[in-house]
Amino acid sequence: MESQENRIKRIKAAVAIAITIAVPAEGLRRVAYHDPVGILTVCYGSTTQVQKGKVYSLEECWDRLDSDMQQAILTVDRCVPGLQPNVLAAFGDAVYNIGPRIACDPAKSTAARLLKAGKVVDACKQLPRWNKVNMGGIFVPLPGLTKRRNIEMNICLGGSDAIH
């Protein structure tokens, strides 16, 4: 069984890796906006208790990113305990971006089924399939999501140069 100290180190490493994915993928917007599917968003993609019209400081944005990403990583770790930091980071970023279904809902996600079965490489290869948004009932791939999911997949598979 993993010690609490090792778990904390693994989670911190995953948060750091995931933030390096999210920052360039999300960009910084200090005033709330609606994302492509209409969700009120601010800073580096935060959707948690966003106040319309408020101008967020850089410190607030970094705090939001750290807190929200930590929650996403912890969600994945609860669903699939013990993942290596690179795998945890890749799925944590995906959860941060699109919600927990991808990693935590085996009934609706092949990736989640594969993670639960311990087939990590196959699960990582599922990430690029999650590059679409629902626009009026039609699933449309977005170039930014395609790029982000490919980066996540490469990191998940252990690629050290995946962010570049």
Task: Give 136-157 pLDDT, tens digit per residue.
Answer: 899 999 999 999 999 999 999 9
pLDDT digits (tens, 9 = 90+) for 87-104: 999 999 999 999 999 999
For residues 115 and 122, is the Cβ–Cβ distance under 8 A? no
Query: Whole-model pTM?
Result: 0.93
Q: Is 135 left (phi over 0), alpha (psi -120 to 50) or beta?
A: beta
How far is CA 66 from each of CA 19, 22, 52, 91, 103, rounded to the nearest angstrom? 8, 11, 21, 16, 20
Q: For 63-93, give one letter per residue: b (16+ CB within 10 A) or e.
A: ebbeebbbebbbbbbebbeebebbbbbbbbb
Q: Does domain 4-156 have CATH number 3.30.450.20?
A: no
